[in-house]
Amino acid sequence: MARTISEDNQVKGVLQNVIFAAKDSYFKILSVSVEENDFDWDEEELIVTGTFASVKPGSTYAFFGQLVTHPRYGQQFQAARYENQVATDEKGLVAFFSSGDFAGIGKKTAEKLVDALGEGALDKILADKTVLNGLLKPKVADNLVETLTNNMGLERLFAFGHRVGLSADLAGRLFDRYGEEAQRILQEEPYELVYDVDGLPFKKVDAIARSAGFDDKSPERLKAGVFAAIQGSCFAHGHTFLTVEQARQSAQNMLGGALLEGSQDIDATLGALVAEGRLTFSEGAYQPRDLALAEQTVADKIQELSEKRSAIETTLPAIDDAFVVPDNLTLDDVQEEAVKKALSSQLFVLTGGPGTGKTTVTKTLIKTWEALVKKQAKDGGKDQDWLKEQRVRLASPTGRAAKRMTEITGYEATTIHRLLGISDGDDAEFDADNPLSGGLLVIDEASMLDSTLAATLFSAIPKTMHVVLVGDADQLPSVGPGNVLADLINSPAVDHVALQRIYRQGKGSSISTLASAINQGRLPEDFEEKQKDRSTFLTRTAQVPSAVGQVLSSAIKKGFTADQVQVLAPMYKTAAGVNALNQLAQDLFNPVKPGQKTLQYGDTVFRLGDKVLQLENDSERDIYNGDMGEVVAVHNQSDKGVSADALVVDFAGQEVWYTTKTLNQLTLAYATTIHKAQGNEFKLVILVLSSQFKIMLNQNLVYTAITRAKEALVMVGDYDAYQYAAEHEVPRRQTKLAALIAGDVRTQSQLEKPVAKRPKKPVDAKLAPAKSKATAEKGDFEKEGAKQGQQKPLKKGPESSIKPNRTENEKAMLDDTSLTVAHLTAGIDPLIGMDDLSPADFMPAVR
């Protein structure tokens, strides 16, 4: 969360130089020669940090913020905002235009410009560049406008954003996206941010819109609020759709008193969103368009794979003839069946818990595939290019899981993002028009696939490729909306084998037995008894740090390293949470040593040698949410030749730099949430559960945590928390993928229509990196969802007729927003006769 900087102080001065400028944001560190200040600063120079546009050395600026004391570098000024002190009289403007920043403009041309446009020259040029016609040559005029827009346009956006409560960082993101249109959109179409900017809460957008004059009953506000409510509920609960009643309830929770007509207002607004293409409606359910499109994309690709065959003959006789069991492995009958089904099917799902032989099956099918390819290449006289087209591709959602996949198979594996060539802010390099190469694709940890990532992956799969998804069906579902692995397992159209016999962890192992008992909804009778590979320390929440500290100290004495041990907890706060346990473990594994280099960011002090965790996807640098690494270098600004603080982190041999601006992507990793550990395994796992975490506890969560342990498991906390988790299944997710695969429901006609928007001025914008929508507000509708049967395909509701006699209020409401649930259920196409229009075109603008 961004920290709010107060404006208690201000300082005015001349910029001497830019000490540091971040490449991925507008953050800068400046050296300023002080002219005036209100906090009794006696030094000639002051270090100023903050978010700035293209500031120019030699120019005068006023900074508003607070004087702070950095633990290492002493006093600095943190700027919340700033103002360019451009002189606005004619003499100052002439000096500004003839400063050398604007090609082709000298002093005489500048005087001519100011004589013609007066003291308001800057405002006039930024508002309408045609005022320069006849005053400057076209090329000179274009350069002037572009330079002013890039510099002063962003500065003015910062200033405007400050007035409406927008942080400088977010203002910079909006400028990256909308360019010079950003301020106009904030003033005239602020609710577009709900649809365009991921991770921006509706309440923040609403506050901006209020300052721009929009009222509670604005149609644009109602639509944005209802959309944000539905999307937020989907992301909070993992659903890909909401029922009508759930959508109404979420909208009511979001907008409250603005909905005077209750469900009538909501229904009409929902209809308008469907008409605009932002939502789809079918089978009694609403879906955000992106989620509907994602599920339809996966379903369509599965249908395509079922209709095509690869260039490799994978009949059972051919497989039997080429069957290879590597490394002297032994396969049981079920594992052998899995290999043969995986090779003979275009799409296959392999599931099983830890130690059931998923790796054995994967290694065998890869070797057998290669034997098939080589034999058929030899028999058919194929060349090396053909062999390359049939190669094996391996990928996983996380970098650590991909690394483990490489180690156990001997073949290169990558993250799915890297496989697809996804870079921040850009579309995937590989897609339907430019599919992946290869003959066999194996995706590990498939339970982590959400609908959006699955759609991006499946769209890039060529129709003749064999696809094998490997995962544990009992682990937590994906963080994002969807339940892809479960939907594929439950689909008769997808071949699936579940491995159940446990081989790994040796004789007498109790970890797998514990995991199995939890999946059955109970704790085993020996839960509290010490076993060869697990033990339980029952404590109160306040005693957790002491208990965990003792376990860690013992592990360290036995030679365990930080990379081999992982502390897991469901939540961050409390004495039994991730934050407190991380500091405890850091002091034990990596205590402060004399001369040890450190770097403080917020409340966290990073030390050389620390175990750290990446918190978000950064595909530009090929690091992803959940990747773990080690701090291998600390650079302090006070060091000779160092311009700014930085950390260097080693992620499995890849060194990545973190500056002050990107350190928010990093945290300590001695303790993590269970979600963050998914896809990883550790020699020793210390699991902490407390009844304070009850809202998070369920079977899948504790099963996922327990099965991260390869050799040893220590459970700390209170018995009631473990029992509650074992007895409560994870809330089931509402998805449509299984029904789409079965052909029971189609939304294709709605998805083919483009999103209808009001005309707006051309935008020359580059896209900012997308952020998670998890910050969207939650809705409470689990009970209603349970009544609907959740993952089962929804039955189509009864045909509804539209009442011919309506009250005057109903007429006004329906005419303004065009559609209701009744229209949609009756099967009326929301865009018939309105190809270039939307309901917004018929609404009066509200300010």
Do 48 and 20 touch, CB atoms closer than 8 A? Answer: no
Kind plus residue range of the DSSP H or E element containing 288: strand 285-288
At residue 806, the pLDDT reads 36
Least confident of 26-40, 223-237, 505-519: 505-519
Tokens at residue 500, please? 């159940």
Decide if pLDDT at 746 tops 80.
no
Degrees, nearest 5: CA angle 351-674-348: 15
At residue 436, the pLDDT reads 94
| 641 vs 557, more confident | 557
Do 734 and 145 touch, CB atoms closer than 8 A? Answer: no
Do 565 and 555 touch, CB atoms closer than 8 A? Answer: yes
Which pLDDT tens digit goes with each residue over 728-738? 988 889 999 99
At residue 396, the pLDDT reads 92
Tokens at residue 504, please? 């790994």
The C-alpha atoms of residue 205 and residue 188 are separated, in whole angstroms, by: 12
pTM for this entry: 0.76
**Confidence at 787, pLDDT banded by 50, 70, 90:** very low
**Confidence at 1, pLDDT banded by 50, 70, 90:** very low
Decide if pLDDT at 392 tops 90.
yes
**In 796-815, which positions are buried (b, 16+ CB within 10 angstroms) versus exposed (e)?**
eeeeeeeeeeeeeeeeebbe
CA separation, residue 784 to residues 176, 245, 253, 586 (Å): 41, 8, 15, 45
At residue 749, the pLDDT reads 56
Tokens at residue 722, please? 């473990």
At residue 486, the pLDDT reads 95
The overall longest dimension of the chain from CA atoms, in Å, is 92
What residue type is assigned to position 625 of the chain?
A: N
Which pLDDT tens digit goes with each residue over 81-90? 888 776 667 7
Decide if pLDDT at 221 tops 80.
yes
Do 565 and 558 touch, CB atoms closer than 8 A? Answer: no
At residue 845, the pLDDT reads 45
Average pLDDT for 364-372: 94
At residue 153, the pLDDT reads 66
CA separation, residue 708 to residues 585, 678, 680, 704, 807 (Å): 18, 8, 6, 7, 61
Residue 146, classified by CB atoms within 10 Å of its CB into exposed (0-12), middle (13-18) or buried (19+), is: middle
At residue 765, the pLDDT reads 33
At residue 228, the pLDDT reads 95
Decide if pLDDT at 449 tops 70.
yes
The C-alpha atoms of residue 607 and residue 458 are separated, in whole angstroms, by: 41
At residue 80, the pLDDT reads 83
Smallest CA-to-CA distance from 825 within 282, 43, 211 is with 282
**Residue reference for tokens 């996804």:** 422
**Confidence at 5, pLDDT banded by 50, 70, 90:** low
**Confidence at 100, pLDDT banded by 50, 70, 90:** confident
Average pLDDT for 370-379: 91
Decide if pLDDT at 632 tops 90.
yes
Q: What percent of the chain has pLDDT over 90?
A: 40
User: Which residues, 6 or more positions from 446, have their beta carbon under 8 angstroms from its beta carbon?
Assistant: 349, 469, 470, 471, 484, 485
Sign, CA torsion 200/206/208/212: positive
Decide if pLDDT at 552 tops 60.
yes
Q: What percent of the chain has pLDDT over 70?
A: 83
Kind plus residue range of the DSSP H or E element containing 299: helix 289-307
Q: Which residues are annotated as a binding site?
A: 355-359
The C-alpha atoms of residue 104 and residue 98 are separated, in whole angstroms, by: 9
| 614 vs 821, more confident | 614
Sign, CA torsion 519/524/530/535: positive
| 819 vs 839, more confident | 819
Beta pairing partners, 20? 29
**CA 161 to the chain's CA centroid:** 25
Decide if pLDDT at 802 tops 70.
no
The C-alpha atoms of residue 135 and residue 118 are separated, in whole angstroms, by: 13
Which pLDDT tens digit goes with each residue over 310-356? 888 899 999 999 999 988 888 999 999 999 999 999 999 999 988 88
Which pLDDT tens digit goes with each residue over 253-287? 998 766 656 678 888 999 999 999 999 999 899 99
Tokens at residue 355, please? 């130690």
Do 20 and 42 touch, CB atoms closer than 8 A? Answer: no
The C-alpha atoms of residue 668 and residue 579 are separated, in whole angstroms, by: 9
Got the DSSP string for 149-203?
Answer: IIIIIHHHHHHHHHHTT--HHHHHHHHHHHGGGHHHHHHH-TTHHHHHSTT--HH
Decide if pLDDT at 613 tops 60.
yes
Check residue 544 and report its DSSP letter.
Answer: H
Average pLDDT for 24-29: 80
Decide if pLDDT at 109 tops 60.
yes
At residue 837, the pLDDT reads 42
Average pLDDT for 428-441: 93
Got the DSSP string for 761-778?
Answer: -----PPPPP--STTSPP
Instruction: Give the number of other CB atoms < 10 A from CB of residue 460.
Output: 23
The C-alpha atoms of residue 240 and residue 233 are separated, in whole angstroms, by: 9
Query: φ, ψ for residue 518 (rounded to 5)?
Result: -65, -40
**CA 726 to the chain's CA centroid:** 29
Which pLDDT tens digit goes with each residue over 667-719? 999 999 999 998 888 999 999 999 888 888 999 999 999 999 989 999 999 99
Decide if pLDDT at 836 tops 80.
no
Decide if pLDDT at 818 tops 60.
no
Helices 578-589 and 544-557 pack at an angle, to 10 degrees, of: 30
Q: Which residues are annotated as a binding site for ATP?
A: 355-359
Q: What is the mean pLDDT of the chain?
A: 82
At residue 777, the pLDDT reads 39
Which pLDDT tens digit goes with each residue over 769-783? 333 443 333 333 433
The C-alpha atoms of residue 820 and residue 826 are separated, in whole angstroms, by: 10
Decide if pLDDT at 244 tops 60.
yes
Do 801 and 826 touch, CB atoms closer than 8 A? Answer: yes
